[in-house]
Amino acid sequence: MEKKKSEHNTNELLVFTYKNRKPLMLTGLIAGVVSIIVSLFLPVLYRSDAIVFPAATSTVSFNALSNAKASSMDFGEEENAEQLIQILQSSPLRNRIINEFNLAKVYDIDPKDKSYHYKLGKAYKSHINFERTRFGSINISVLDEDPELAANIANKIVQLIDTVKNDLIKERTVPALEINKRKLNQLKDAQEKLNEEMDSLSQLGVVDAKSRSSLFAALNEAKTAEDKAFFKNQIEVNLKYGARYDALSDLREFRIEKLTDQEVSYEQAESDAVENFNHKFVVEYAVPSDKKAKPKRMIIVLVYTFAAVLLMFIALLIRERVRTIKHAI
Q: What is the pLDDT of residues 75-92, one digit of tens each?
A: 657 788 888 889 899 989
Q: Looking at mean pLDDT, say which of 1-5, 13-17, 243-247 comes out highest.
A: 243-247
What average pLDDT does the structure give for the chain?
81
Residue 26 pLDDT > 70: yes
pLDDT of residue 300: 73
Residue 326 pLDDT > 80: no
pLDDT of residue 74: 63
Residue 281 pLDDT > 60: yes
Under 8 Å between Cβ of 180 and 266: yes
Q: What is the pLDDT of residues 105-116, one digit of tens each?
A: 988 898 888 889
Residue 294 pLDDT > 80: no
Residue 4 pLDDT > 60: no
Q: What is the pLDDT of residues 94-103, one digit of tens each?
A: 999 999 999 9
Measured CA angle at 165 (ends 160, 170), to 5 deg = 130
- Stated length of the chain: 329
Q: pTM above 0.85?
A: no
Q: What is the pLDDT of residues 168-227, one digit of tens each?
A: 888 888 888 888 889 989 988 988 998 888 888 888 888 887 777 787 777 677 778 787
pLDDT of residue 68: 43
Residue 271 pLDDT > 80: no
Under 8 Å between Cβ of 97 and 156: yes
Give percent of the chain with pLDDT exceeding 90: 17
Higher pLDDT: 35 or 137? It is 137
pLDDT of residue 67: 46
Rounded distance, CA 106 to CA 102, Å? 7
pLDDT of residue 60: 58
Residue 66 pLDDT > 90: no
pLDDT of residue 52: 92
CB neighbour list of residue 198: distance below 8 Å, 6 or more residues apart: 245, 248, 249, 252
CB neighbour list of residue 222: distance below 8 Å, 6 or more residues apart: 228, 230, 231
**Cα-based distances in Å from 177 to 61, 184, 271, 277:** 15, 10, 9, 16
pLDDT of residue 253: 87
State the pLDDT confidence band at 19, using cuts at 50, 70 and 90: confident
Q: Is the dihedral of CA 284, 288, 294, 298 positive or negative?
A: negative
Q: What is the pLDDT of residues 121-155, one digit of tens each?
A: 999 999 999 998 888 889 999 999 889 999 999 99
